[in-house]
Amino acid sequence: MSSISIRDVRKTYSKSAAPAVDRLNIEIPKSDFLCLLGPSGCGKTTTLRMIAGLEHPTEGKIVVGDRTVVSVDEGIYVPAEDRDMGLVFQNYALWPHMTVAENVEFGLKLRKVPKPERDRIINDTLEKLAIARYRDRLPSQLSGGQQQRVALARMLALKPDVILLDEPLSNLDAKLRLEMRAELKRIHAEMGATIVFVTHDQWEAMTLATTIAVMSEGELQQLGTPDDIYERPANRFVAEFVGNLPINIVELQDNSTNPLSAWVHGMLADIRLTAPAGSVGIRPEHVRLVPVETSPRPATVIDIVPTGGSWIVELSADGEKFFAITPEPPGVAPGEQVGLSVPHESLHIFDAAGSRIEAVLQQTTGGKS
């Protein structure tokens, strides 16, 4: 099993265009399950294809295990066909003229695996992915989900050390997606391969990954465990991108005429900061609704949306939209006034440039406002 090390990688497709990937540094330990997460066009596929060898970096170096597969400065470039990695494409890319079995067999033949051994591997792999019935069909005669599994089978049959998956679940329906997610987890546990998984679905990333790399506009925003990413977003982009319901952001002006920012300023008074704060993020689930009298921050309920087990409360605080989510029926009706309360420790504080500021809570006055 191999670790993957991406060092100072940049990729520009054409001289005039902005880099698709820039200053990328990621260390992926062996047997890690890394998710590349980010909005469309942020460079996830490009990164994956550079690891696979299907694109070449403009700058930088990539080391897999103890083999440097590409290094611009050292003049090293190992072509894709010699990298021995398993790759599953965003659109499957099955060979349309080969049957399911032939698709799986192709790579084995190239590795000169003897015929009986080949047949055994094909049968096993197809069995495992429950597509043995379709072994003699052409890809065009399969449903999207079945094609997806053929693509997986084709890759798995070769037992690669490193598995690269580009949004492999994006075209499946909800149920199949759940099944395949479990399947991937099982494969990971069983084979112990290092997996890099591209997705723009944060939920998928959260549930699958051991490490998540959040990217935006070609640059790495944060590398960390799913908990890290959610609990300690490195910057405003990550805070806003991750989370089912958008995080509430309050901009802080110095002369706080805005009541909302005045309120937050009030809370920050209890906190020692390492740098001046520019904005604050509050996750909806950390917003508590309290009786108006007990809170310095009143808000008007606009709408309540039950989402099965929790309730999204849309609020308006001095004209600003604000979301709260409650695990119990909120007990208020649209049009009513409620008070807002947020525990100090759940504030995400960012500086003027949007980077996270670590806060130190002052012991003496810690508590709730």
Ligand X SMILES: Nc1ncnc2c1ncn2[C@@H]1O[C@H](COP(=O)(O)OP(=O)(O)OP(=O)(O)O)[C@@H](O)[C@H]1O
Binding site for ligand X (CB under 6 A): 13, 20, 38, 40-46, 200
In the window 7-46, what residues touch Mg ion (CB under 5 A)?
45
**73 class by beta-carbon count within 10 Å (0-12 exposed, 13-18 middle, 19+ buried):** exposed
Q: In this chain, which of 86, 145, 233, 284 binds other proteins, going by CB under 8 A?
A: 86
Under rule CB under 8 A, residue 275 binds other proteins: no
| Shortest separation between residue 39's beta carbon and other proteins, angstroms | 23
Residue 56: contacted member of other proteins, ligand X, Mg ion, none (CB under 5 to 8 Å, by partner type) = other proteins
Residue with Cβ nearer ligand X (165 or 325):
165
CA atoms within 13 A on the CB side of 315: 27
Residue 80: contacted member of other proteins, ligand X, Mg ion, none (CB under 5 to 8 Å, by partner type) = other proteins
Residue of 31, 157, 139, 135 lying closest to 86 (CA atoms): 157
Residue of 218, 224, 253 lying closest to 239 (CA atoms): 224
Under rule CB under 8 A, residue 159 binds other proteins: no
Residue with Cβ nearer other proteins (106 or 230):
106
**Residue 231 neighbours by CB distance under 10 Å:** 12
Residue 43: contacted member of ligand X, Mg ion, other proteins, none (CB under 5 to 8 Å, by partner type) = ligand X
Residue with Cβ nearer ligand X (18 or 110):
18
Q: Segment contacting other proteins (CB under 8 A): 82-90, 239-247, 294-302, 351-359?
A: 82-90
| Shortest separation between residue 96's beta carbon and other proteins, angstroms | 6
| Paired strand residues for 361 | 271
DSSP 255: S
Residue with Cβ nearer Mg ion (45 or 146):
45
DSSP 246: P
What tokens were used for 328? 């119990």
Residue with Cβ nearer other proteins (97 or 133):
97
- The alpha carbon of residue 162 and the mean position of all alpha carbons in its chain are separated, in whole angstroms, by 19
Residue with Cβ nearer other proteins (158 or 169):
158
CA atoms within 13 A on the CB side of 65: 11
Under rule CB under 8 A, residue 73 binds other proteins: yes
DSSP string, 170-228: TTS-HHHHHHHHHHHHHHHHHH--EEEEEES-HHHHHHH-SEEEEEETTEEEEEE-HHH
| Residues forming the site for Mg ion (CB under 5 A) | 45
| Residues forming the site for other proteins (CB under 8 A) | 52-54, 56, 71-77, 79-82, 84-87, 89, 91, 93-97, 106-107, 110-111, 154-155, 158
